[in-house]
Amino acid sequence: MAIAHCIFEIETEPGIQIYNITSRVQSLLETTEIQNGQVLIFSRHTTTALAINENEARLLEDIRVFLEKIAPLGDRYLHNDLHLRPNIPPDEPMNAHSHLMAMMLHNHEVVPVIDGKLALGTYQSILLFDLDGPRKRTVLCQVVGD
């Protein structure tokens, strides 16, 4: 059994942004010798998330609206009392809402690999959610198989 991994970066835009990273993951998979197994996609941030879903513009807007209802930007959050938190950097944002949204999603996804291709369904895409941009984000992919 072989294991390969790669980290890639994405520069994100302000607000809740959703990026289709399927082709990027497939390209990374093609740099390995692995034909059958699985790929773990892991977000390395507490205010980003991953999901497998349809990459359709109106659905993505519905998802944004849904997340904003769950954790509205303007609500009161203890995490945003920056003056009460010890050892925070001077550029610390008030982003409790982003952490809460991320908790409703996943920080990882696992996709089967068959014959060197991601075994996603017809309308499935791997989506990266940045809930607190703009930032430089990193995603780890680990491929395991034969």
What is the total count of domains within the chain?
Answer: 1
pLDDT of residue 93: 94
Residue 87: inside a domain: no
Cα–Cα distance, 84 to 1 (Å, whole number): 49
- Would you state the structure tokens that stand for residue 129, as one six-digit string? 């959610």
Residue 86: inside a domain: no
Tell me the pLDDT of the chain averaged across its residues: 97
Residue 89 — very low, low, confident or very high, per pLDDT cuts 50/70/90?
very high
CA 27 to mean position of chain CA atoms: 17
Residue 69: inside a domain: yes
Three-state secondary structure call for residue 14: coil
Question: For residue 131, what are the domain limits?
Answer: 2-73+95-145
With left for phi above 0 and alpha for psi between -120 and 50, is residue 116 left, alpha or beta?
left
Residue 85: inside a domain: no
Residue 79: inside a domain: no
Residue 101: inside a domain: yes
> pLDDT digits over 95-135, tens only?
999 999 999 999 999 999 999 999 999 999 999 999 999 99
Read off the CATH number of the domain in which 120 is found. 2.60.120.460
pLDDT > 90 in the chain, percent: 99
Residue 82: inside a domain: no
pLDDT of residue 59: 98
pLDDT of residue 52: 98
| Predicted TM-score of the model (pTM) | 0.95
Residue 62: inside a domain: yes
Residue 22 — very low, low, confident or very high, per pLDDT cuts 50/70/90?
very high
Three-state secondary structure call for residue 96: helix
